[in-house]
């Protein structure tokens, strides 16, 4: 398996533009997480899905942020309109959730977003 795949790896955009980040989880994993990482705030959980259903989006900072998971192999995180304070590295992670707690969370390489 190629692991969790995120795109784009880097994006530079201007304030007000729409940004779409993409994630392909590991095949067979049933939980997907979107995190944002900044120097000031560390790793923040934005939203997570279980079996393609959003379970908790309380970490999504504002209505400008939205996330979807139309099927088990694809998720998007959209920011519209983008602002300079959204500049961060956005990570997607997936794992196979289960009561045993034996499964490892696997991260993608991240999407570095810069909003000018």
Partner 1 sequence: KQEVTQIPAALSVPEGENLVLNCSFTDSAIYNLQWFRQDPGKGLTSLLLIQSSQREQTSGRLNASLDKSSGRSTLYIAASQPGDSATYLCAVYSSNTGKLIFGQGTTLQVKP
Kindly list the residues in this chain that would bind partner 1 in the complex (CB under 8 A): 31, 33, 35, 42-43, 45, 48, 50, 55-56, 91, 93, 97, 99-110
How many CB atoms neighbour CB 39 within 10 A?
6
Output 9 or 81, the one with its CB closest to partner 1.
Answer: 9
Distances from the Cα of 39 to the Cαs of 35, 42, 87, 88, in angstroms? 13, 6, 11, 9
Output 43 or 116, the one with its CB closest to partner 1.
Answer: 43
Output 45 or 81, the one with its CB closest to partner 1.
Answer: 45
| Rounded Cα gap, residues 35 and 1, in angstroms | 22
- Compute the least distance from the CB of residue 101 to partner 1, in Å: 3
| Rounded Cα gap, residues 71 and 53, in angstroms | 9
- Compute the least distance from the CB of residue 16 to partner 1, in Å: 27
């Amino acid at each position: 398996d190629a692991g969790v795949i995120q795109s784009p790896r880097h994006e530079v955009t201007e304030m007000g533009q729409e940004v779409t980040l993409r994630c392909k989880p590991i095949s067979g994993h049933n939980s997907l997480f979107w995190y944002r990482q900044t120097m000031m705030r560390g790793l923040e959980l934005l939203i997570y899905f279980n079996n393609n259903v959003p379970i908790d989006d309380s970490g999504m900072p504002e209505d400008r942020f939205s996330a979807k998971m139309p099927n088990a192999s694809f998720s998007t995180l959209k920011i519209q309109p983008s602002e300079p304070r959204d500049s961060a590295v956005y990570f997607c992670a997936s794992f196979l959730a289960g009561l045993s707690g034996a499964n490892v969370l696997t991260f993608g390489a991240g999407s570095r977003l810069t909003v000018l």
